[in-house]
Structure 1
Amino acid sequence: MSPAGSTEAVSVRVPGKINLQLAVGPERDDGYHELSTVFHAVSVYDRVTVQPAERWSVHVTGPYAHRVPTDDSNLAVVAARTLARRRPRGTKVDPVRIDIDKRIPVAGGMAGGSADAAATLVACRELWALDHVENGLLEEIAAGLGSDVPFMLHGGTAIGSGRGERITPILARGELHWVLWAGEGLGLSTPEVYAECDRLREVARTPVPDPAPSGELLTALRRMDADAVGAVLRNDLQDAAVSLRPVLAEVLDAGLDLGARAGVVSGSGPTVAFLVGSQAEAIDLSVGLAANGPMGDIVRAVGPVPGAQLVQHVRPTQPPPPPTRPGPLGPVTG
């Protein structure tokens, strides 16, 4: 383990996710909804670097940096401090500086905050040489941080159950090609979308069965058949997201009119994921959306990809700059 003041740092790359299925069941006693979801990690990445420091801090760069908190509410900081508190007794750890290169859309339904938390857990375990911290403990900590964090440790394609934190990997061969649309300033809070889903169901008196994974989707994923997968994409939160942000209906219509095999709002939105059959189709759709669709960031991606992965140990040539906008982060306790 490196002492405080060392130039040693650890970098981890972590992808975003989309939901190929999101079946929302009844509300539970704890306020969450019972879920059955199929997570799919895609090649849109954040990079998280941690290094020893005199105090806890987080610093964010990249196109979405202005939308990420840099105080102690940042989930990456919460992840680092939680691992520090729950480390094996007798193990010494130092505070860390966390640098996030933010490329995953914020509040877009792609689990960007959860991805950064998962990457921070992996990076801090490496930096602090906590090799004896078993994956089970890391996953337990991840589940306590948020419903999507455990999946971001694994990546690939997986079923999520409970509130999404119980992960069962899916055996899938091949890859799928996606075009992702993210509208600037359209961020949706997850609680807001779930509340709207409940409201729409109450108005329509829609029965709410217990959620279960789609057998048709699991069969299609075994072959990675784009048309078969596209035919069974499902998100029970999509109507709620469209109700709150009507422009999403225009985006979905535009993508389908331009040749996408299928389109779906990812998670609680507002990112829209369009499924295409090849890289060439992805390029054509990207160009078409940029020219004819509602204004937004457009990114081509493939999936599935692995979850949080160590990139390398790095040694900066200069000392890190002093913290900017530090939050009220205290010393390690426990």
Structure 2
Amino acid sequence: MATIKATAPAKVNLTLHVTGQRDDGYHLLDSLVVFAGVCDQLTATIAPELRINVSGPFSPGVPADDSNLMMRAALALQQARGVELGAALTLEKHLPHAAGIGSGSSDAALTLAMLADLWKVAPLATDAPEVVALGADVPVCLNAPAPTRMTGIGGTLSSVTRLPDCAMVLVRPPVDVPTADVFKGLASRDGSAMDDLPEGLDYEGFAAWLAAQRNDLQNAAQCIAPPISEALEALQSQAVVSYAGMSGSGATCFGLVKDMATARQVARRLQVAHMNWWVAPAALLQPA
């Protein structure tokens, strides 16, 4: 039986500007999305029908039926391409879910790519209705590992200049932040757009550019979940962290550092000081 194994990386919103709100309630965003070298592990094997098995440290709470986003993605591709084959999917969950790092969306996007290869059919485009219906983060996750500017309600994607080689420390305190509640707490829904990313930035220039941008959801999330403030303060207290922010609607925060050796050092310090936090050093991924 043909089997494909691959990794679905964490999605990190380094910026998130809320620039408006449509009449239907959807918010307009402007965000620099990158992918981190910490991942879920996925496999797909040809089978008579679609099924999924979920395991791993963050498997509790992840559905193993048709409501799973991977299964929804598989069904969408199957129906769109008229596929009669099925697949046995496995998800080894190493990324926290509902954490602002799009792990479910990344899993779904990778499922679409894996099954297109396995079933020998044309992949779905990022703007295909079937992809958009899976959620606002799935289109950008199909672009992984390329850093991408995401605008509109999430479906308008544009490439950005190559970023300097660097790394991150991802930190998630043990708190849930309902996305809908965060958006309700927004102080403003018509902020300015993200600044264009200049070409040829070195690490220091990139950190300075990032510090001039925003995550408009951060203040609202901190009010709902004060441990986010503690995580940001812990990252900011490390002299080697050039910039710290919150990803998406939280609660995962990131600290930007020069390289993986530095990321591992910072991660070890934070893991010792905060044993109940999820802490992960990760490279900022880019295409070769």
Do the two structures share a fold, i.e. TM-score over 0.5? yes
**How many pairs are equivalent?**
285
- Structure 1 residue 233, shift from structure 2 partner: 4.5
Partners in 1 of 2:229 and 2:216 — Cα distance? 15
Identify if the C-alpha distance between structure 1 residues 137 and 180 changes in structure 2 by more than 3 Å, giving closer, same or farther.
closer
Residue 118 of structure 2 aligns with an amino acid whose one-letter code is L
Of 167, 172, 176, the match for 1:182 = 172
Superposed counterparts of 1:46-57, under 5 Å: 46-57=40-51
The answer to whether structure 1 residue 223 and structure 2 residue 202 are counterparts is yes
Q: 1:50 touches 1:96 (CA, 8 Å); kept in 2?
A: yes
Q: Contact between 1:250 and 1:294, CA under 8 Å: does it hold in 2? A: no
Instruction: Write out aligned runs for 1:86-165 (5 A).
Output: 86-87=80-81, 91-130=82-121, 133=122, 136=125, 139-155=128-144, 156-165=146-155
Larger radius of gyration: 1
Q: Specify whether residues 220 and 110 from structure 1 end up closer, same or farther in structure 2 by C-alpha distance, changes over 3 A only.
A: farther
Structure 2 match to 1:322: none
Q: Secondary structure at the match of 1:21?
A: coil
Residue pair 2:112, 2:123 contacting (<8 A) in 1 also: no
Gap regions ≥5 residues in structure 2: none
Q: How does 1:1-334 map to 2 (within 5 A)?
A: 7-87=1-81, 91-130=82-121, 133=122, 136=125, 139-155=128-144, 156-184=146-174, 186-197=175-186, 201=187, 206=188, 208-209=189-190, 211-215=192-196, 218-219=197-198, 222-225=201-204, 226-259=206-239, 260-293=241-274, 295-306=276-287
Distance verdict in 2 for CA 1:211–1:62, change over 3 Å: farther
| d(CA) in 2 for partners of 1:228, 1:24 | 21
Q: TM-score, normalised by structure 1?
A: 0.79
**Distance change (3 Å), C-alpha of 1:173 and 1:161:** closer
Unpaired runs of 5+ residues, structure 1, are 1-6, 308-334
Task: Show CA shifts across 1:194-221 (max 9, x none).
Answer: 1222xxx2xxxx4x43542223xx1277
TM-score, normalised relative to structure 2? 0.90
Q: Secondary structure at the match of 2:235?
A: helix
CA contact (8 A) 2:161 2:199 kept: no
How far did 1:134 drift? 5.2
The residue type equivalent to 1:209 in the other structure is D
SS in 2 for 1:17: strand
Partner Cα separation in structure 2 for residue 305 and residue 286 of structure 1: 22
Q: Distance in 1 between matches of 2:160 and 2:228?
A: 29
Pick 1 or 2: higher relative contact order, CA cutoff 8 A, min separation 6: 1
Which moved further from structure 2: 172-181 or 287-296? 287-296
Partner SS state of residue 117, structure 2: helix
Q: Indicate how the Cα distance of structure 1 residues 83 and 92 shifts in structure 2: closer, same or farther if over 3 A, else same.
A: closer
